[in-house]
Amino acid sequence: MSEVAPARPQVAFDGRGLVPVVVQQEGSGEVLMVAWANQEALDLTLETRTSWFWSRSRQELWNKGATSGNVQTVRRVLVDCDGDTLLYVVDAADPACHTGHRTCFYRELLFPAKTAGNYE
């Protein structure tokens, strides 16, 4: 009996031809960044096993680490249940954020202080 390869999940790109990509550190599960990919960026990511994205501001492909040296080696690419978001599970030894922080999520919004009558 021959094995049948599972069908490749469909990716639902938006009206601009883009899909959001969450980038997560392998092992720790830490979320490093969120970016956008078009079909070409996704194809390049799968071919090269490095993170490729579409820059909405520059309107061009972007290979994470090509300029900074902070390369992300892609270990897995997952598609969410609706097919409209990707998760790149990566091995990243260097900072993901252009500010030099390990993650782009280093700033926190705090909840307002509780005051009488403010909350149940």
Residue 80 pLDDT level (bands cut at 50, 70, 90): very high
Asked if residue 3 is part of any domain, the answer here is no
Amino acid at residue number 24: Q
Asked if residue 8 is part of any domain, the answer here is no
Asked if residue 77 is part of any domain, the answer here is yes
Asked if residue 67 is part of any domain, the answer here is yes
Model-level pTM?
0.86
Q: Which long-range contacts (CB under 8 A, 24 or more apart) does 8-15 make?
A: 9/79, 9/83, 10/79, 10/83, 11/39, 11/42, 11/79, 11/83, 11/84, 11/86, 12/82, 12/83, 12/84, 13/38, 13/39, 14/84
Residue 114 pLDDT level (bands cut at 50, 70, 90): confident
State how far the Cα of 99 lies from the Cα of 57, in Å rounded to an integer. 17
What is the average per-residue pLDDT within 83-102?
A: 96
Asked if residue 1 is part of any domain, the answer here is no
Collect all residues with Cβ–Cβ distance below 8 Å to 76 and sequence separation of at least 6. Answer: 26, 87, 88, 89
Asked if residue 70 is part of any domain, the answer here is yes
Q: Is residue 19's pLDDT more than 90?
A: yes
What is the average per-residue pLDDT within 100-113?
A: 94
Domain containing residue 36: CATH number: 3.10.20.810
Tens digits of per-residue pLDDT, 33-76?
A: 999 999 999 999 999 999 999 999 999 999 999 999 999 999 99
Residue 118 pLDDT level (bands cut at 50, 70, 90): low
Q: Is residue 3's pLDDT more than 80?
A: no
Q: Which is higher by pLDDT, 7 or 79?
A: 79
Could you tell me the residue range of the domain that residue 56 belongs to? 19-91
Please tell me the total count of domains within the chain. 1
